[in-house]
A = this chain, B = another copy of it.
Amino acid sequence: MSERRFGHIPGYPIGSHFVSRQALSRAGVHRPRIAGIAGSGQAGADSVVLAGGYEDGEDYEHTIFYTGHGGRDPQTHEQIGNQVLIRGNLALAQNRLHGLPVRVIRGAGFRSPYAPDSGYRYDGLFTVDDYWRGVGRAGFFIWRFRLVKMDADTQRQERVVQEALHVQELKQLYHYRCQICGVQLRGTAGSYAEAVHIRPLEAPHNGPDTSENMLCLCPNCHILLSIGGVGIADDFTLIGRPGSLYVDFRHRINIEHVRYRRQHYPPDPEM
């Protein structure tokens, strides 16, 4: 099975102990037997192991600065070149772009007060809040990722994962282009867009969490839709600016939600 499995793995709650990488792999908690990052540059990373393999990992229990991979001599394991934003590093960058949490496993080899005494321990889901390029002790570039432990309850964590995977589909349908202004925000690791609920999820609006109630927007049009800077008419023409909402023929939008948004977040102060 090569398909990525994001989120908690049923049967292995936080704190589960594993005697070896083989055991971790069999459980599906971290599939690769050598690589520290399980992931692809397309789908993102579903798990990482901190086992001391790389030179610079700093552990503050709820926040971890995780160092990417690459640039090492396969024989001596010394850093002999720069890390590049490819493979596992690119995968973790996807987690940042798409709000996908990653499983964190600490191994006994990791120099940290929070590492287990032996074997490996599953320590829960972390969000990838940011990533940047630093310089490691050997003087070469390394990629670093700020992992922050999710503090919601397990059920809610699972919802965040499912939601992030679900909205990915909608964003991919639009190639991360904003349905209002058409902009596509591209960075070095990929594109960024936001899935916005037309009728908000939160009380007292209680909009449904379905693609009928979602738009793929850039952050600017997201805020504009919330502060009356732009509105959407029943025929999808835009209010407050020229043009129309772009809607893919495979994306059904429920017009009731469009009306709800327009009435509750009116684009015209006289409304």
Contacts and interface: CB of A to CB of B under 8 A. Distances in A.
A200 interface: yes
B187 A227 contact: yes
B269 A200 contact: no
B228 A187 contact: yes
A248 interface: no
A185 B130 contact: no
Count class of interface residues, chain A? 35 or more
Nearest to A230: B187
A257 to B, nearest CB: 14
Interface stretch (A14-22, A119-127, A215-223): A215-223
B265 A229 contact: no
Contacts of A144: 204
Number of copies: 2
Contact of A185 (B183, B192, B205, B224): B224
Given A85-B269, A187-B229, A223 B132 contact: no
A81 interface: no
Contacts of A111: none
B266 A188 contact: yes
A252 interface: no
A259 interface: no
A90 to B, nearest CB: 10
A187 B224 contact: yes
Interface in A82-96: 84-85, 93, 96
Contacts of A146: 202
Nearest to A190: B227
A213 to B, nearest CB: 16
B223 A192 contact: yes
Nearest to A222: B219
A167 B200 CA distance: 28
Interface in A108-150: 130, 132-134, 144, 146
B188 A228 contact: yes
A97 interface: yes
Contacts of A188: 227-229, 266-269
